[in-house]
Amino acid sequence: MPPWFHMIGKGAALSIWVRILRWVFKAQRWAYQHRRYSLSIVAVLVAIIGSAALDVKNSNDPMLFFSENNVHRQKLEEFRAVFGKSSATLIALDAGEPNAPLLLLEAERYLSEILLDPEHPLYIDDITSLGSVTATLPAIGYPTEYTSLEDVQFLAKDHPALSAYFFNEDQSATIVILSLDPADQSDPALIAAYKQQMDLVTHMREKYPSLLISIAGSVTIFEALREAFSQDSRYLFPATAFVNFLVLLFAFGNLRVTLSVLAIAGVSVLLTLGVAGWSGYVFAAGSASSFAIVFTLTVASLIHVVHAMGQRQRRLPFQRSRTIILSSFRKLTVPVTLAHITTAVGFLSLNWADAPAFKAMGNLVAIGLVFSLLLSLLVAPIALKSKRTELVIRDDRIRAVSRWFAVAWAAAPIRNALIVSVLSLAALTGLTRIVFDDQITNNFPSDHPLLVNIDNISGAFDWYSSIDMVLQYDEGMLIKPEAIADVVELVEWIKLQQPVADVFSPIPLIQDCLDNRQPPYEGAILDVPQKMLNYCVRTSARSGSNYVGFYAKDFTLLHLKIMLPRISAAGVRDLSEKIEAKTLEMGFTPETARLTGVGVMSAYLSEVNTKNMLIGSALAMLIVSLLIGVFLRSPILAVLSILPNFLPAMASLGIWVWINGEVGMAASVIAAITFGIVVDDTIHILYALARGKHTQSREGIRTVLRNVTPGVLTTTLALGLGFGILMFSGFEVNRQLGFLTSATIFIAFIFDIFVLPGLYSLLKGKR
């Protein structure tokens, strides 16, 4: 190691660290001696900061997952600046009989009339345009009031402007497309919008029970997301606290101590919630898991202290509770403080993610860890003291289990380390098969109402979602025959690509206009007279299909909508690359032919975040290792801290890939999240080994492991089982996060017990 490392580690840093410790010990003594004042200060802080706990703002806006510098977001914002920010809601009416039966047309007209009449009680607010058969009839010269349903049957066959956009292939189903632009994106407003839409659909289902009526769109997806997160907040997070309660009660054998630890963790969460509320920041709905993380990490820190109290109680039974508590906290102030700092560094590394939602989650957890550290060092000693009962830690059961691990390591340290290492490397091979898939519909079970409706729409029309393509032309070029002929060629080529179901373009409207000229035009597009083509192009821009928005106002931009069934994010990426290659072949440039849309943007979410997080995670590991090396005064310990914390995260990800094949958003940040969590136990083991005696021998290390493993094991059970509860979530991202985090914690425990001590013993002589 370079000389400056040793100088910093043994000189300046040591002096500063000693001063900090002295200040902390004085603060602990003062807080303990003036318990009433201390608790009063905490109560005031909770009252002031925690008063905003219920004011936390959440949103499911997809933009929260993409930074302003994200190239896909920039494309989408450029598109919306020209064609509007409206989101679509699809209402499909399926008769199950071909050739548009009258009942289907009657229901469609009835529904369209409701949506065209702002005075109707079931009218939906925030509609910017309506795409339907009834709304389009006047644009092609057939006023609704003079066009009977029998006539519509024939028009649907003869007019591409109707059949191409609003009917499926055998005309057994029709679609009504609402373009919405809600000004208020808050949860209450979107909940009200969802209720409006469902009231309308319920009314239609009651009036036309023989039709299959399905609804899908951004508002229904929002409601599905909100409900999934609400279910987690309502059931899973309390279940996490209950699991922690059971683990602590088993480990400590003392109800009062268990409740005291949980209370400190609860206050940490309350203060974190308060900061989130006071900030006024709008968090992504998934950020609610931040509070569960703060809770479990606070519990984990106090577990080691409580076990140290139990150990001291057995060795020095004559000491009073006050001495046991303060001495135990003094003994573990270094690893507890270092664990909080390094964990905060791990979560702060999420600021390298592309997604603002991940950055907010990382910063929120880091803030929570500041509260957790202050409460753990200054308030927890007071909470654990009771005038009525003696402090008794009955941790014999967990210590008996811990002794087994110490004996197992000592029996064959090299063999055990090799077995764990080989199995981990085998799991790592799964990373070669990793496929990122962020399609939002994959986050729900197959019987979820959202997916049932989507499957119904897909079954009738072979599509339910879309991506957008924008072609840019010089002024005046878009209305020339050559340009329209190129569009025809491109549209037909895209339709042949799998799994494209259809392409919404102005071509059917232009063709409809040409077919209905007097006399009808029957030649090739390239031979259309310029004046006639100019008229038909401009007429298609004024048609009732404005929900698509084919043209910019100056006719320099053309918008194509590529309709897709449910496909993976990888499928969207592959299709996008094929289409981009085709446009380059046709003479367009990346600037004049752009693919965009929320679907395209989401398809690259994990891929972009994973690349960015490689830098953040590497930097976090470097900083954490330096902190461990400096404050434990050992470069060897700095090096040893990396392997048992990074490799388990990658191994758990590999196991997930072997089991499921595809991963989503959780995978892109799992290294940073779990590194910040599992490093705590590594610090406690390294700290115990560094302070232990005769650790150059197998027997000396076994003795150290017997003393430190109870805290490590209890922490592993509390964290591993707590995060494991998320695997019962109704939302796939949380299920993945629960599995990956829980698996990483358990694998890291095996590494810490069976690999880390052997490496320490091997390298100690090289200090």
In this structure, are 622 and 584 located in the same domain?
A: no
Reduced to 3 states (helix: H, G, I; strand: E, B; else coil), residue 88 is strand
**Would you say residue 751 lies in a domain?**
yes
Sign (positive or negative) of CA dihedral 572, 574, 577, 579:
negative
Q: Is residue 92 part of a domain?
A: yes
Length of the chain: 767
Say if residue 269 is in the same domain as residue 126.
Answer: no
502 and 630 part of one domain:
no
Concatenated DSSP letters for 356-424?
HHHHHHHHHHHHHHHHHHHIIIIIHHHHH--SSS------HHHHHHHHHHHHHHHH-HHHHHHHHHHHH
Co-location of 613 and 761 in the same domain:
yes
Q: 190 is in which domain, residue-wise?
A: 71-223
| Chosen domain end from 603, 618, 643 | 603
Clarify whether residues 683 and 746 are in a common domain: yes
Residue 440 placed within a domain:
no
38 and 136 in a common domain: no
Kindly tell me the number of DSSP H helices and DSSP E strands found in the chain: 31, 12
- Is there a single domain that holds both residue 48 and residue 86? no
The last residue of one of the domains, among 603, 621, 642, is: 603
> What is the value of pTM for the model shown?
0.80
Same domain, 700 and 733: yes
Question: How many structural domains comprise the chain?
Answer: 3
What letter does residue 215 receive in the DSSP assignment?
A: E
Residues 6+ apart with CB under 8 A from 729: 228, 231, 232, 236, 735, 738
Same domain, 308 and 325: yes
| The predicted structure's pLDDT at residue 9 | 46
Position 408 scores a pLDDT of 85
Q: How far apart are CA 236 and CA 243, in angstroms?
A: 10
Q: β-strands 57-59, 435-436: how paired? A: unpaired
Helix (H, G, I), strand (E, B) or coil at 169: coil
Q: Tell the residue number behind the tokens 């898991």, with chain if given.
A: 289
Q: How far apart are CA 734 and CA 299, in angstroms?
A: 21
Domain for residue 20, yes or no?
A: yes
Residues 199 and 86 in one domain: yes
Residues 508 and 518 in one domain: yes
Identify whether the C-beta of residue 265 lies closer than 8 Å to the C-beta of residue 299. yes
CATH code, 82: 3.30.70
- Count of beta carbons in the 10 Å neighbourhood of residue 433: 11
Walk along the chain (767 residues) in steps of 10 and give the mean pLDDT of each run.
Answer: 46 63 84 86 90 82 78 85 79 91 92 91 86 84 86 83 86 89 75 90 95 90 79 79 89 89 92 90 74 85 86 82 85 83 85 83 90 90 77 84 86 85 84 70 78 90 88 89 91 92 88 81 83 83 62 88 85 91 93 88 76 76 78 71 75 79 67 73 79 71 84 88 81 77 87 83 60
User: Which tokens belong to 725?
Assistant: 């509860």
Query: Final residue of a domain: which of 603, 621, 656?
Result: 603
Is residue 228 in some structural domain?
no
**Does 643 lie in the same domain as 557?**
no
DSSP 118: T
CA distance 400 to 41: 40
How far is it, in rounded angstroms, from Cα 372 to Cα 364? 12
Cis peptide before 519 (omega within 30 of 0): yes
Establish if 534 belongs to a structural domain. Answer: yes
pLDDT value at position 668?
65
Rounded alpha-carbon distances, angstroms, from residue 695 to 530, 565, 597, 700: 91, 62, 60, 5
CB 450 within 8 A of CB 444: yes
With respect to residue 457, please indicate whether it lies within any of the assigned structural domains: no
Q: How far apart are the first and last CA of the chain?
A: 10
Could you give the angle at the alpha carbon of 710 between the alpha carbons of 709 and 712, nearest 5°? 60
**Nearest-angstrom CA–CA distance, 736 and 738:** 5
- Residue 441 DSSP label: G
Q: Which DSSP helix (H) or strand (E) runs through 691?
A: helix 665-691
Q: What is the pLDDT of residue 289?
A: 72
SS3 track for 725-737: HHHHCCCHHHHHH
> Can you give the pLDDT at residue 5?
44
Alpha-carbon distance of 144 to 404, in angstroms, equals 82
Is 236 a domain residue?
no
Residues in a beta bridge with 560: 469
Q: What share of the chain is helix, strand, coil (3-state, %, to 5)?
A: 70, 10, 20
